[in-house]
Amino acid sequence: MNKTLACLVVAAIAMPAWADEGMWTFNSFPADKVKSKYGWSPTQEWLDHVRLSSVRIAGGCSASIVSPDGLVMTNHHCAHSCIAQLSTPKKDIVKAGFYAKDGKDEVKCPEIELNQLVEITDVTKAVQDATKGVEEAKFNDLQRAKIAELEKACATSDDLRCDVVTLYRGGKFDLYKYRRFQDVRLVFAPEFEIAFFGGDPDNFMFPRYDLDVSFLRIYGADGKPAKQEHYLKWSANGAKDGDLTFVSGNPGGTSRLLTVGQLEATRDVALPLSLTRLGEMRGMLTEYGNRGVEQRRHSEGMLFGVENSLKALKGRHGALADRKFYASKVAAEAAFKAKINADANMKKTYAGVWDAIQATTDKSRDYRKAYAALEGGVRSDLFGTARTLIRAADEMPKPNGDRLKEFADSRIPQLKQKLFSKAPIYDEFEVALLTFSLTKIREDLGADHPVVKQVFGQRSPEEIAKDAVKNTKLKDLKVRTDLFADGKGKDKIDASKDPMILLAKAFDAPARAERKKWEDEIDGPLRKQGEQLANAYFGVFGKSTYPDATFTLRLSYGTVKGYLDSGVEVKPLTTLGGAFDRATGRAPFALPKSWLDAKSKLALDTPFNMATTNDIIGGNSGSPVVNKEGEVVGLVFDGNIQSLGGEFGFDESVNRTVSVHSSALIESLDKVYGARRIVEELRPTGGTKAGGK
């Protein structure tokens, strides 16, 4: 890691992006830049088509529409929670895989929402005017109210979702209007063994051999597959070394525009806290799974998420701990400041912004632990449900603009989907999670913190958790519906003696207070300061570069390309045969029986996984890789280990997007799974031409 990062060139701030760098918004794609480098660039029509063929999984992934009948392609790990929720002790489809041989066999995912980006409107002036000249402490409230107003006006029905997106950390605000789909059904998933072949050891590694795919389908209000005007066609042969590739998806977040002081706090405070806690959760969850087969089934989804975060955060921390990389960020900031200081007007307006950000950042170091513990410290579905019910009763009677943002009118459909989900709840696991969470809250706040004393009293974390989980009625959908009462449940909540409600209530006032403190004293000021810094940035560099990622639709370009890893050449394409070579028969390197059985039928030289220079980050999982014709040539599921530093800067020499090659998808659907229905739907004209090269 050190060696590769040492060569990282941080381009985001100090120089124009000539590398295949950038997670570009669809309304400011640098067609000229692509044209000059590759001799080809997408038309507006191409951009619109790819945008409308892309869908976001609201819970945190990307996907694409791949047939006129609403077939959606994403990763297995993006649908993992649905697949697990649809499993039972007798039929574990995470383990066994799933294939709906017929349309009527497709099963609804309890908590998946898809968003198709239909319109982008610039609302910068409206948002910035609402906070013009106001003091920092009021900034957050006023901005949130304006955003809620804009979103409500836009989301005229429940099947529309509107989000105001903060770009350049406050320099630009765009209103994203999405079509919202909540009836999404599972069509196909392979066995977990091949979807996550190599497990945590191979995660973020390349070469790689994963069939990390699942297919879903969008259904309409009529209960039938929803016809789609825009969808991606399938490439006949997929991509080969050197081909131009585009990735359309939703990178979750990057920190390329942070100040050095913010990076320092990330390196020294936020990341060490997260790493230590994630490490502990990983140890706990791994060993919890040893309680038994069912307990492993209940907990493994969370374990994989925790392990994935842990590895990603280690990579990020490693980038900031790298002396040369960090020095390059320091140098870039110094150069930026020098340009500001060289212009008297800009100096007067902007020179103070770094100190202001530093002061806010210093304060955030002190506030972080209590805020995280009280507002985000409990990992338990039932506790989350109780908190949502309590807050809904308080918030929903308020005017839209005054509510906590997750209770704004435009957010209610998503909230209801989760609140009224039929996904199973596992008591034993809930007790374990709640016990763990309460123990950590006591640890983070200290045993003498007034909230701890008040909530815990004489009881131990385990006693509290057992009582609340065992005796709550919130597992009953009817009880939840009754307590929610369409946002008018205040009296019922006040009267409730449900122990989970009482527990969540005991935390609620102090949690709200910490959140308010954070929003008023950290978040608001940083938004105000971010606006200033962005303007300084535009003043020096213009608007020719991309904003940090915001879990909204972006397009990146690149090529299929290998790289040097510590001097060793890594080729950009692996083959199906490579998976058989790598298999040991033991988890996480065991191939499923279906693959072992099908080996003789498979074209083993079919490209399996693929590395490209596209600039992506977590959230892009499930994104389609498309060629110049807008056809699917791959399915993004990972980045290589060198891509983890991409949080802070892009290094084209080694940063790689990792995808499943389109040919491997067809070859395995056809020969391993006999999933003819899907193959025909993906390539209706040509039948199978697997193994194309």
The radius of gyration computed from the CA coordinates of the chain, to the nearest angstrom, equals: 25
Give the residue with the Cβ less far from a copy of itself, 69 or 268. Answer: 268
Q: What secondary structure does DSSP assign to 453-497, as a single string?
A: HHHHTT--HHHHHHHHHHH--TTSHHHHHHHHGGGT-HHHHHH--
141 binds a copy of itself (CB under 8 A): no
Number of residues that bind a copy of itself (CB under 8 A): 54
471 lines the binding site for a copy of itself (CB under 8 A) = no
Report the residue number, 233 or 363, with the smaller CB distance to a copy of itself: 363
> Least distance from C-beta 356 to a copy of itself, angstroms?
16
Taking residues 283 to 312 in sequence order and writing x for each that binds a copy of itself by CB under 8 A, - otherwise, the string is: xxxxxx-xx------------------x--
Written as six digits, the tokens of 253 are: 């977040």
Query: Between residues 133 and 450, which has the closer beta carbon with respect to a copy of itself?
Result: 450
| Nearer of residues 189 and 445 to a copy of itself, judged by Cβ | 445
For a copy of itself, which is the closer residue by CB, 262 or 535? Answer: 262
386 phi-psi bin (left φ>0, alpha ψ -120 to 50, beta other): alpha
For a copy of itself, the closer of residues 314 and 671 by Cβ is: 314
Contacts for 595 with CB less than 8 Å, ≥ 6 apart: 194, 579, 580, 668, 672
Q: How far apart are CA 552 and CA 36, in angstroms?
A: 26
How far apart are alpha carbons 556 and 540 in whole angstroms?
24
Q: Does 279 bind a copy of itself (CB under 8 A)?
A: yes
DSSP string computed for 80-144: HHHHHHT--SS--HHHH-EE-SSGGG-EE-SS--EEEEEEEEE-HHHHHHHTTT--HHHHHHHHH
- What six digits make up the tokens of 245? 């590739």
The encoded tokens of residue 345 equal 């007007």
Site map for a copy of itself, 323-362, x if CB under 8 A? x--------------------------------------x
Element (H, E) at 176: strand 172-181
Q: Residue 573 is inside which H or E element, if any?
A: strand 573-575
Interaction pattern, residues 179-198, with a copy of itself; x per rule: CB under 8 A: -------------------x
108 is a site residue for a copy of itself (CB under 8 A): no
From 211-219, 269-277, 394-402, 414-422, give the range in contact with a copy of itself by CB under 8 A: 269-277
Which residue number, 112 or 281, has a Cβ lying nearer to a copy of itself?
Answer: 281
Among residues 2, 27, 44, 454, the one that binds a copy of itself under rule CB under 8 A: 2
Tokens of 326: 């960090």
Q: How far is the CB of 327 from a copy of itself (least distance, A)?
A: 12
Does 466 engage in binding with a copy of itself (CB under 8 A)? no
**Of 658-677, which residues contact a copy of itself (CB under 8 A)?**
none
Residues 534-553 that bind a copy of itself (CB under 8 A): none
Q: Which of residues 439-458 bind a copy of itself (CB under 8 A)?
A: 442-443, 446-447, 456-458
Task: Tell me the angle at which helices 477-484 and 381-395 cross, rounded to the nearest 10 degrees.
Answer: 20
Q: What's the rounded Cα separation, in Å, for the pair 302 and 378?
A: 14
Q: Torsion-angle region of residue 506: left (phi > 0), alpha (psi -120 to 50) or beta?
A: alpha
- Report yes or no: 180 and 208 within 8 Å, Cβ to Cβ: no
Q: Which is nearer to a copy of itself, 538 or 589 (CB)?
A: 589
Q: How far is CA 257 from CA 583, 612, 642, 651, in A?
A: 42, 24, 19, 16
Is position 159 an interface residue for a copy of itself (rule: CB under 8 A)?
A: no
Prior bond to 624 cis, omega within 30?
A: no
| Span near a copy of itself by CB under 8 A; candidates 155-163, 165-173, 282-290, 555-563 | 282-290
For a copy of itself, which is the closer residue by CB, 36 or 460?
Answer: 460
CA distances from 614 to 168, 213, 335, 608, 635 (A): 21, 19, 27, 18, 12
275 binds a copy of itself (CB under 8 A): yes
Strand partners, 246: 557, 626
Scanning 38-46, 569-577, 582-590, 622-630 for contacts with a copy of itself by CB under 8 A, the matching segment is 582-590
Identity of the residue, 68 or 461, whose beta carbon is nearer to a copy of itself in the bound complex: 461
Listed ranges 8-16, 37-45, 275-283, 666-674: which one lies at the site for a copy of itself (CB under 8 A): 275-283
Using CB under 8 A, list all residues that contact a copy of itself. Answer: 2-3, 198, 200-202, 205, 264, 267-269, 271-272, 275-288, 290-291, 310, 314, 317, 320-321, 323, 362, 365-366, 432, 442-443, 446-447, 456-460, 463, 584-587, 589
